[in-house]
Amino acid sequence: MRCHGRDAQKTTAVGGIGMDPQLRTAPPAIDGLAAQATALAAALDAGVDLGDVGISDDVAWVALDAAGLGGGFREAVMAAGGPVAVLRQGQVAAFSSPRRRRRVLPRDAIAARLRLLLPWFDIGARVVADQRRLTRFADHPACAFYGFGADVPDPRRPVVAIVGSREAGPALLERTASLARRLAKAGAVVVSGGASGIDAAAHHGAADANGDVVIISGRPIAGRVEVPIDVRHDARLCWLTPYGPWSSGVPHGRFAQRNAFIAAMADVTIAVCGGPRSGTRHTVDAALLFRRPVVTLAPCSSQPDLASIATRLVATGAGDVVDDDITLDALLLRSVSEGAHANWVNDAQPGLPFPPGGSSSLSSSSSLAPDTLAHPLLRLLGARGALTIDDAAAALQSSVRELMVEVALLELDGALRRDGAVLRVSALVTSRGEG
């Protein structure tokens, strides 16, 4: 390794990571994720260039994730030569955007974050960052997923998301398990969020049929290593999270984003049941935004409070009720009607069980954190008034895909309301501003 000295010629130092512009032949990757992460962290701490550090694309993606880049930069990173080239050429800081609240961390902070993963790698965890394996997440990309258990299934296989309430009773749970069992036998990969209730029923039903199950968790890797108990027993269960141990923020924000990953992976989403403020609602929202079909099961008469999702899907034409014994082939033939997402989020339709984008589904006594009130999107809407999603994305120099994630989080906070494609600050924000 050569020191990145003050007198070095032809050396750039962008964001604290420098390298000669004309790259040498890259050294082969060091064996093992833990060894690669250790070597990269040492080089970052020592202030040397990274040209002689043998790292794979997987560990380079982890470093970019640790630096603070989001999955929305994945295409740009690939256009710049890939994650290893971005690190070695010192291009990391080029992805910083204060206007979009994206701040790239300095190299010592990146090194510290990489070391947080070492205990996790030592017990057999993997990184899933390969472009081909993540093809299904094109609509909602991540820098990397961190996983246990089985490998990510071949992206060419059919994937069905089965989601619903934690409060579902025995009848709905049995119907869900039976459906997952049949779909798994037919060759489908079943994806869920790993929660109790419907998620667990789907997981266990598919596992009973020796099927492949993917759980996408909203939990970051904890400070101490936590391995889901099912991963130790289910040979065909793949547990993934897009959140490294450095992930912060309120839990409901992470879980709202996690639900979008579930929707992005699936060919079709089965929203078994759910209430107006459930995570199921946001999975449906994301699936329709990504133009993936959504269906539901007939509501259970003993739990009418969980029928809101099904009722709204049918009323808006965004989805319909299917039989419990529907086949995989029939599910894969479903399509999304034109305007399904706009109908689903439109608050102006009378007689519907809840307005997904409206502030009426949120408590009027909710309190907003200062960081939420300072959000660039809220400031923009406060200055200009209501804007369409496209206009807001253009003004913030953001992609619509990334902006929709922020919109979902602000909706959960009660700070934002949507009327179709139009965004407005909520009455809660307005009243705070007037106060």
Confidence check: pLDDT of 320 > 70? yes
163 burial via Cβ count (<10 Å: 0-12, 13-18, 19+): buried
Over residues 355-367, the pLDDT tens digits come to 444 333 323 333 4
| CB 212, CB 183: distance < 8 Å | no
Query: Higher confidence at residue 25 or residue 316?
Result: 316
| CB 353, CB 276: distance < 8 Å | yes
Over residues 278-309, the pLDDT tens digits come to 789 889 988 998 999 999 999 888 888 889 88
Q: Provide the pLDDT for residue 434.
A: 41
pTM: 0.76
Q: Provide the pLDDT for residue 298.
A: 92
| CB 215, CB 194: distance < 8 Å | yes
Task: Determine the Cα–Cα distance for residues 45 and 112; give it in Å rounded to an integer.
Answer: 9
Over residues 4-25, the pLDDT tens digits come to 332 333 322 223 333 333 334 5
| CB 68, CB 24: distance < 8 Å | no
Query: Higher confidence at residue 254 or residue 12?
Result: 254
Most confident of 194-208, 254-268, 372-386: 194-208
Percentage above 90 pLDDT, the chain: 33
Write the CA distances from 411 to 21, 274, 326, 362, 404, integer angstroms.
Answer: 45, 17, 34, 9, 10
Over residues 383-402, the pLDDT tens digits come to 888 888 888 888 887 777 67
- CATH 1.10.10.10, the chain: domain bounds: 359-434
Confidence check: pLDDT of 137 > 70? yes
Percentage above 70 pLDDT, the chain: 76
Query: Half-sphere exposure (CA, 13 Å, Cβ side) for 241?
Result: 20
**Regarding beta strands 12-14 and 17-19, do their DSSP bridges make them parallel or antiparallel, or are they unpaired?**
antiparallel
At what angle are helices 107-116 and 33-46 packed, to 10 degrees?
Answer: 160
> Which class would CATH give 135-345?
alpha beta
Task: Determine the Cα–Cα distance for residues 179 and 197; give it in Å rounded to an integer.
Answer: 15
Confidence of residue 227 (pLDDT cuts 50, 70, 90): low
Write the CA distances from 110 to 41, 213, 297, integer angstroms.
Answer: 7, 32, 46
Residue 341, token pair as written in the block:
């997402």
Confidence of residue 422 (pLDDT cuts 50, 70, 90): confident
* Mean predicted confidence (pLDDT) in 182-195: 95
120 burial via Cβ count (<10 Å: 0-12, 13-18, 19+): buried
* Mean predicted confidence (pLDDT) in 333-345: 84
Alpha helices in 93-187 (DSSP H): 107-116, 118-122, 170-185
Q: Provide the pLDDT for residue 252.
A: 57
- CATH 3.40.50.450, the chain: domain bounds: 135-345
Return the C-alpha torsion angle 92, 94, 95, 96, nearest 10. Answer: 100
153 burial via Cβ count (<10 Å: 0-12, 13-18, 19+): buried
> Which class would CATH give 359-434?
mainly alpha
Q: Provide the pLDDT for residue 417.
A: 76
Q: What is the DSSP secondary structure assignment for residue 327, as one 8-state letter?
A: -
Over residues 62-110, the pLDDT tens digits come to 999 999 887 878 888 888 889 998 888 777 877 766 554 557 888 899 9
